[in-house]
Amino acid sequence: MICLNNTEQKCICKQVRYAMQQLSLDLAQITDRFPSKPYCSDDLQIGLQIRPKHLALLKRYIQPNHPYYTHFFVFDLDSSTAYIDYFYSMVGVPTPNLIVENPKNGHAHYIYQLATPIYQTNASNDKPIKYANAVYLALRDALSADINYSGLITKNAVHNSWRTHVLREQPYTLDQLSERLDLTTRQINKEIKVDEAVGLGRNCCVFHTVRHWAYVEVRKYRAKSFNQWLDCVIAQCCSVNAQFTVPMQYNEVKGIAKSIARWVWKRDGYAYQEFIDRQTRKGQLGGKAKGEAYSAKRKQAVALRAKGMSYTEIADKLNVSRRSVIYWCK
């Protein structure tokens, strides 16, 4: 047994406190990227709740990514030696930023932070999504991670139920991950089919499947409102999403649907012009009504001024500015 004097004990305590502070700082870089109102739970069998982030961080499980943005790639490894395996059997695999381990069974979540988040509903540019999806799939294969894990919920790295290992501070670019995984151009540009779509690939699949349908379908809505068209697109996106092995959350599907609906609506000349004409008519009617209301107040102001009321009293009575009353009564 090694005996330590008081000075040595204090020195070790300081080192431990410093290590814990550094760990907290590293984890703060991660949790700062979490959604402001994420899904969370203490027991996944009971279900998920939506809570403000400061309350969600007290739960064992939490949603790491925003419905519209991907800040993290999260992988589920069900091996009892999931943490140790990284050091002994995963040669050449990019180092995860975090490994969050279950101390009871050894299962763990590998978390990779992205330097630039991936916008998942950008209808005009799906190349980053396809690139990110190819990197995600290659990384999942390299880790032999669970293919049925959706990534919606992860082990909360700051909860004391788990053993958290911070292995890398710097976030990754997609290029940095791609270089380590030897991705080919063919893999990156591969068309994503409904029965093969997972992770970010589901976003691409829904977008491309529904947009081709929408180019023709929008013609039926040329005499209808944009909101009616949007409801139709949302329903179609939900229908495609339901075919995935692990469907996306409704809010994520709705975001894609909005992008498609706006994109197609504006590019269908007839439908968009109808929309502009309706908005113009509404504006004209609103302007006319507003003008009539001000005309009535102007007459009231002149009459009240003739009775001897002050500008301030008239302004308060008619709920208008004093400057307007002075202008009307000139």
List strand residue ranges (DSSP E) for the chain, in order.
39-41, 49-50, 61-62, 69-77, 98-101, 108-119, 154-155, 163-166
127 part of a folded domain: yes
148 part of a folded domain: yes
282 part of a folded domain: yes
219 lies in the same domain as 173: no
Rounded CA-CA distance 167/94 in Å is 11
316 lies in the same domain as 212: no
Q: Which of 174, 189, 204 marks a domain boundary?
A: 189
Output the tens digit of pLDDT for each of the chain's 330 residues: 445 456 545 554 454 344 444 455 467 888 888 999 999 999 988 888 999 999 999 999 999 988 778 899 999 999 999 999 888 888 788 999 999 999 999 999 999 999 988 886 654 466 787 788 888 888 998 999 998 888 889 999 999 999 999 888 899 998 899 888 877 666 665 555 544 444 566 777 788 788 889 988 988 887 788 899 999 999 999 998 888 777 887 888 888 888 889 888 887 766 556 666 666 766 665 555 555 666 788 888 888 888 888 888 888 888 888 878 887 887
184 lies in the same domain as 206: no
Q: How many domains does the chain have?
A: 3
119 lies in the same domain as 221: no
177 lies in the same domain as 67: yes
Q: Which of 164, 189, 214 marks a domain boundary?
A: 189
Q: Which domain holds residue 200?
A: 194-267
Could you tell me the pTM of the whole model?
A: 0.61
Backbone angles phi, psi at 254, to 5 degrees: -65, -40
Rounded CA-CA distance 18/130 in Å is 41
Q: Which of 137, 158, 189 marks a domain boundary?
A: 189
12 part of a folded domain: yes
Which candidate, 236, 204, 242, places its Cα nearest to that of 220? 236
CATH of the domain at 244: 1.10.340.50
136 part of a folded domain: yes
What's the confidence (pLDDT) of residue 329?
A: 81
Rounded CA-CA distance 295/52 in Å is 49
DSSP assigned state of 47: -
199 lies in the same domain as 287: no
Rounded CA-CA distance 258/244 in Å is 20
287 part of a folded domain: yes
